[in-house]
Amino acid sequence: MRKAFISPTKYVQGEDELLNLGYFVKTFGDSALLIAHPDDVKRVKEKLESTINKFQITLVEGGFHGECSREEVQRLQELAKEKSCSCTIGLGGGKAIDTAKCVAEGEALIIVPTIAATDAPTSHSAVMYTPEGEFDEYAYFNQSPSVVMIDTTVIANAPTRFLVSGMGDALSTYFEARATSRSYSNVNAGLPCGVREGVCGAAKGTNTALVLAKFCYDTLLKDGIQAKVASDCNLVTPALENIIEANILLSGLGFESGGLAAAHAIHNGLTSLEGTHHYYHGEKVAFSTIAQLVLENAEQEELNEVLAFCVSVGLPVCLADIGVDSISYEEALTVAQKACIPEESIHSMPFPITEEAVAAAIMVADQLGRKFKQSKD
């Protein structure tokens, strides 16, 4: 059996860690292309100026246009070549980070998230869009970022909703990895060669990835509430540090090397409901995780544990929490049909999947979540 595990070359997090950015740039050369939204640059301007002066580096600001599109990637690649940049820095949220991945194509890449809202920073994949913001394709690279640098002071000063959304994304990691392991399905860690070059082939997940995914879940249960309070106060505490690590590193390694299953596929299906469009990825994944547990007929004790965690940190547990006040069976079936297309990760579940079963799981999860919330009021 062929197995695969993928990870960044270096992961570092700590208070004011951004001051060390220049050190990592110097490992590649004297200059870097900085891909970041102007608002994110403004948030950390003093730290960027400090690291530039301390390490005598040049940061070429790319003037990121906001979408990870083919046109934007080509423009930035040409700028990097024109300015002879030694490496690429992706600073900010998901689209700036994904754009940096595409520009660097897996080489000499430093990722600096300013929020802990998803597990994308550590991955070797990116989502590309059209200039108008419509989905284009997934891109995979030969390796994960060279450096993932987390300044926990910056994360602590971001809106708490981002951190909580990241916990929702991280919540699914163990349950999806567990399902993938039970079905011996392939994982993303084996993709790059097969996708890009037609060699190497697919791979299964490792025991290491499954253990990391479980530790991710355990960390959420242990430190989630305290981390949320710390974020509300814009303070860095051990609990906040642990949740940042869980949201970004543990969840990132867990999903790529452990596998995705029903939760993320159901999330993708839910995007067909207009009411969900104003909610973050991790918020929708949290509800989708509950739907996956219903789909696999998880033990009631485990389901209640997940529901209680979500309620305690403010994650959605029913469709009303993600902008859908009511849903008909026909609407649920439409969501299920999108979640069950042949290429979706839901087929990593360890049993046959039908659209009807998924629609039922969504509707039952919604009712269970509503009743759980009412019981706590």
> Which domains are present in the chain?
10-156 (3.40.50.1970), 160-376 (1.20.1090.10)
Is residue 197 classed exposed, middle or buried when 0-12, 13-18 and 19+ CB atoms within 10 A define those classes? exposed
Instruction: Check whether 95 is labelled as a binding-site residue.
Output: yes
124 catalytic? Reply is no
pLDDT at site 193: 47
Instruction: Check whether 204 is labelled as a binding-site residue.
Output: no
Instruction: Check whether 94 is labelled as a binding-site residue.
Output: yes
Instruction: Check whether 264 is labelled as a binding-site residue.
Output: yes
Per-residue pLDDT of the chain (377 residues; tens, 9 = 90+): 999 999 999 999 999 999 999 999 999 999 999 999 999 999 999 999 999 999 999 999 998 988 999 999 999 999 999 999 999 999 999 999 999 999 999 999 999 999 999 999 999 999 898 888 777 888 999 899 999 999 999 999 999 999 999 999 999 999 999 999 999 999 999 865 444 444 456 899 999 999 999 999 999 999 999 999 999 999 999 999 999 999 999 999 999 999 999 999 999 999 999 999 999 999 999 999 999 999 999 999 999 999 999 999 999 999 999 999 999 999 999 999 999 999 999 999 999 999 999 999 999 999 999 999 999 77
pLDDT at site 192: 55
C-beta separation of 282 from 166 below 8 A: yes
Alpha helices in the chain (DSSP H): 21-26, 38-43, 45-55, 70-82, 94-104, 152-156, 160-183, 191-197, 207-232, 238-245, 251-258, 262-270, 281-295, 300-313, 329-339, 355-376
Catalytic residue among 37, 40, 124, 169: 169
Instruction: Check whether 98 is labelled as a binding-site residue.
Output: yes
277 catalytic? Reply is no
pLDDT at site 202: 86
C-alpha pair distances (Å), 154 with each of 159, 218, 231: 10, 25, 11
C-beta separation of 153 from 229 below 8 A: no
Q: Summarize pLDDT for 82-120 with one digit per residue, the tens.
A: 999 999 999 999 999 999 999 999 999 999 999 999 999
pLDDT at site 350: 98
232 catalytic? Reply is no
pLDDT at site 324: 97
264 catalytic? Reply is yes
Catalytic residue among 37, 40, 124, 267: 267
Instruction: Check whether 40 is labelled as a binding-site residue.
Output: no
Residue 13 β-bridge partners: 150
Residue 87 β-bridge partners: 32
* CA dist., res. 89 & res. 52, Å (int): 13
Catalytic residue among 124, 264, 321, 366: 264
Instruction: Check whether 174 is labelled as a binding-site residue.
Output: no
pLDDT at site 137: 85
pLDDT at site 181: 97
pLDDT at site 64: 92
Instruction: Check whether 136 is labelled as a binding-site residue.
Output: no
pLDDT at site 199: 46
pLDDT at site 198: 45
Instruction: Check whether 169 is labelled as a binding-site residue.
Output: yes
C-alpha pair distances (Å), 287 with each of 34, 87, 197, 270, 321: 35, 38, 37, 10, 9
